[in-house]
Amino acid sequence: MPETVIVIGLGGAGSFAAAKLAEQGLAVIGLEADDLIHTRGAYSGESRLFRAAYHEGADYVPLLLESRAAWLELEQAGGRRLFHETGVLSIGSAAAPQMEQVQRSLAHAGLAHEVLDTEELRRRYPQHSDLTDEIGVLDLLGGVLRPEAAISEIQRRARLAGADLRGNQRVAAIDEDAHGVRVRLASGEELRADRVVVTSGITSGGLLPDLAPHMQILPIALTWFCPENPADFAPDVFPAFIRDQGDVHIFGAPTLDGSLVKAGYDARFGAIADRSELPRELAPEDRHRIARDVHRLVGGLPPHIARESLHCDIFTADKRPILGRVSERIVVGTAFSGHGFKLIPAYGSALAAFVTGAPQAHDLSAFSPARFA
């Protein structure tokens, strides 16, 4: 009989780990507290940036390249558009630490990119306004992922491999003993497994209380604007972007529907205890501030928001994920800290390797749960 593995949480990492484990012949049960695809996850919101030029450090680049290849393979195999290869344009002062990090990560791996001085940036991408001394670094491997479609495709692959994926199954507790792991559902039902993978996002702390003090839940606001001229923001002329000016940090994607342009904003909300505290909408002062700054930096977008949604993600203090074994039978992948979706294939594969004991493809020691001991 194959080992039974329960995956708790079927967002990106959990769904990918479930697929990998099922493809290796394990008996996989996946449990998701919401519907299998839903609008309340950290992945929700139409688009996510993929970038190989990484502000967060060059040590992520091998994981990013593995993930990029996997995204393209998933797209080809599934026959649906998952990855728009628009490039990602990072804009900021040449002396800013994040811009130095972007160039370092590209040079470290010899990745295809262009560095644009201020005048070239103004000429090629006039959509970006109020440029002073900023430069642009165009990551030619970057682009835009479609998260809902991607999760659906990954789950389809998991089911084809034999995984039993169950929605609306809220887990109350997990207990490990000499014979395996017992998973208790909120309904009172109990399931037994040889091993468990915890990828339950903002509820991970409740299932793994030793890790809870090292994580916090932060709201994230996503906003869209209706451009004056949609053709100026089409994917072939307007790359996805990240821009820093002073204390303002914005990021966005070209129009994917010919109508709205996504332009997100680091709104810096305070931590919340759980999803029930997530506001239903932006406060008027936050809406005004986001619209004002986006319009100032991207002049073709009007000073009012056409659409908004609020989500939440779970963060560590060092903004690195928690990825690894917490015991002999329990593996965790959580706290992706606002920059996890692009790395889902690498993280999901790593979780599967932790379960099976296979060698890891990358050095993941910086992500280990043991760093909090």
pLDDT of 264 reads 86
- Residue 22 DSSP SS3: helix
Average pLDDT over every residue of 13-41:
97
Query: Phi/psi class of residue 9: alpha, beta or left (left: φ > 0; alpha: ψ in -120 to 50)?
Result: left
Opening angle at CA 293, ends 280 and 202, nearest 5: 35
pLDDT of 257 reads 93
* Amino acid, res. 70: A
Opening angle at CA 110, ends 106 and 116, nearest 5: 50
Q: Could you report the per-residue pLDDT of 166-206, keeping only the tens digit for each?
A: 999 999 999 999 899 999 999 999 999 999 999 999 999 99
Q: Could you report the per-residue pLDDT of 122-181, keeping only the tens digit for each?
A: 999 999 999 999 999 999 999 999 999 999 999 999 999 999 999 999 999 999 998 999
Quote the CA–CA distance of 369 and 313 in Å, as a whole number.
Answer: 18
Smallest CA-to-CA distance from 331 within 173, 195, 174 is with 195
pLDDT at position 91 over 80: yes
Quote the CA–CA distance of 302 and 248 in Å, as a whole number.
Answer: 18
pLDDT of 108 reads 74
pLDDT of 254 reads 98
| 4-43+148-209+318-372: CATH class | alpha beta
**Total Cβ atoms within 10 A of residue 83:** 18
pLDDT band at 101 (very low <50, low <70, confident <90, very high): confident
Higher pLDDT, 216 or 268: 216
Give this prediction's pTM. 0.96
Average pLDDT over the chain, rounded to an integer: 95
Domain 48-145+216-315, CATH number (from 3.40.50.300, 3.30.9.10, 3.90.1150.10, 3.40.630.30): 3.30.9.10
- Residue 199 DSSP SS3: coil
DSSP-assigned letter for residue 323: E
Q: Could you report the per-residue pLDDT of 307-339, keeping only the tens digit for each?
A: 999 999 999 999 999 999 999 999 999 999 999
DSSP-assigned letter for residue 287: H
For the chain, the structural domain boundaries read 4-43+148-209+318-372, 48-145+216-315
pLDDT of 198 reads 98
Higher pLDDT, 214 or 103: 214
DSSP-assigned letter for residue 282: -
Q: What percent of the chain stands above pLDDT 70?
A: 100
pLDDT of 104 reads 82
What are the counts of helices (DSSP H) followed by strands (DSSP E) for the chain? Answer: 8, 20
pLDDT at position 266 over 80: no
**Total Cβ atoms within 10 A of residue 26:** 21
